Structure 1
Amino acid sequence: MVTEEDVRGLALALPATTEKTMYGTPAFYVRGKWFARMREEGDVLVLPVSAEEEKAGLIAAEPATFFTTPHYDGHAIVLVRLGAVDAGELRELLTEAWRLRAPRRLAAELDDHA
């Protein structure tokens, strides 16, 4: 099971990432735009995805890992249960969320170093 500390370590390893508080919980930003935040429960991560269709696909494919609440209806944001995701998948999810919010030039730099 991954933890909030795992999320923090993976998120802060991405270029130009900072940690701030959002709604009283840790959140991670790239150049001022949030790309991940812990929910109040402490074992759920909030992540943007590319489209509502991607969100629906994740939830349909892995409902034990991904879910939503009415608050996020109509938004391309998915909730991730940390107890149901492994570190490798978490790294991919955080990196993709980071890419969605990072400036293009910064995202291209990450690709150049991959």
Structure 2
Amino acid sequence: MVTVEQVRQVALSLPRAYEALVRDRVKFRVGRIVFAALSADETELGFGYPKEARDALVAAEPDKFFLPRESDLRYHWVQARMAALDEDELHELITDAWRMCVPKRVAADHLRMLGL
């Protein structure tokens, strides 16, 4: 199980990322693009994810992942139950969502700095 503080720590460690409060919901952005967001009750995490792969993700682990509400299906987005995530998975999901929002050079520089 991951916490809100762990989500915040991972998201804010990424270049150009910042936190915003929108309608009482915590969102993490790069510029104006949201790459991760917490539900109002902070039990669910939404994050950027390729549309073409999200059905397979949800089908593989339906107790952990689920599709966003119908009005948000047009976005590259999926949801997860925070109680079902572990720290390594959280880091990977948030980092991959962030990479979808930043220039390739920024992502490459960051990964190079980490030795990846």
Where 2:100 maps in the other structure, the secondary structure is helix
- Post-superposition offset of 1:111: 2.2
Structure-to-structure mapping, 1:1-114, within 5 angstroms: 1-50=1-50, 52-68=51-67, 69-114=69-114
- Post-superposition offset of 1:18: 0.8
Q: Which amino acid aligns with 1:57?
A: A
Where 1:14 maps in the other structure, the secondary structure is coil
Deviates more, 1:103-112 or 1:8-17: 103-112
Runs (4+) of structure 1 moved beyond 4 Å? none
Distance in structure 1 (CA, Å) of the matches to 2:34 and 2:52? 21
Q: CA RMSD in A?
A: 1.4
Which consecutive residues of structure 1, in runs of 5 or more, have no partner in the other structure? Answer: none
- Post-superposition offset of 1:40: 1.4
Distance in structure 1 (CA, Å) of the matches to 2:55 and 2:41? 22
Which consecutive residues of structure 2, in runs of 5 or more, have no partner in the other structure? Answer: none
- Post-superposition offset of 1:53: 2.2
Deviates more, 1:24-33 or 1:83-92: 24-33
Distance in structure 2 (CA, Å) of the matches to 1:8 and 1:86? 15
Distance in structure 2 (CA, Å) of the matches to 1:35 and 1:15? 13
Distance in structure 1 (CA, Å) of the matches to 2:100 and 2:64? 21
- Post-superposition offset of 1:14: 1.1
TM-score normalized with structure 2 length: 0.88
Encode CA deviations 1:35-84: one digit per residue, 9 max, x unaligned: 1111113110111112x221111100111110023233333210010000
Distance in structure 1 (CA, Å) of the matches to 2:31 and 2:73? 26
- Post-superposition offset of 1:30: 1.9
